[in-house]
Structure 1
């Protein structure tokens, strides 16, 4: 399985007048191993752990002891890491 599917709030909430259904869109989360595979093993699971402890890398959430990366946040982080062809020329004179 590439990713874990979690229903955000697809649970029934009980009230005094009966049961209310609250629906929200399901979110997709990636486990550290999924990220390791997604990035073609260029970033190790240990590096992901180091990044988490240093406040670096993509945003993550913890459910108990399980670390999960929201796919949406991973994609945003990947876009932020893009470097254009000319980006290296800016730093060349320094």
Structure 2
């Protein structure tokens, strides 16, 4: 007798495709400049990015994660 394999449940939420932003979109959203983002890339201090030829793209989730990692919480007396 053969046993039938059950299929994975399809009721789970479908995988969300990442949203990619151009440097100008990131700069506008976070009140900085494209030049500043370029310097951050050069200094290896900015958000993760993907490079396709000369084009730079930032995954929106990576940008928000970078902002959270860069957060400063001052000490209170």
TM-score between the two structures when normalised by the length of structure 1: 0.59
1:64 equivalent to 2:53? Answer yes
Secondary structure of the 2:38 match is helix
Name the one with the larger strand percent: 1
Once the two structures are TM-superposed, the CA of residue 44 in structure 1 deviates from its matched residue by 1.3
- Matches of 1:81 and 1:27 in 2, distance apart? 22
Once the two structures are TM-superposed, the CA of residue 64 in structure 1 deviates from its matched residue by 2.2
- Matches of 2:73 and 2:17 in 1, distance apart? 34
- Matches of 1:62 and 1:48 in 2, distance apart? 14
Once the two structures are TM-superposed, the CA of residue 83 in structure 1 deviates from its matched residue by 1.4
Q: What is the alpha-carbon root mean square deviation over aligned residues?
A: 2.2
Larger radius of gyration: 2
Deviations 1:45-85 (A, max 9, x none): 11111111121111100122210111111111011111123
**Gaps spanning 5+ residues in structure 1: where?**
1-23, 90-94
TM-score between the two structures when normalised by the length of structure 2: 0.70
Larger RCO, structures 1/2 (Cα 8 Å, 6+ apart): 2
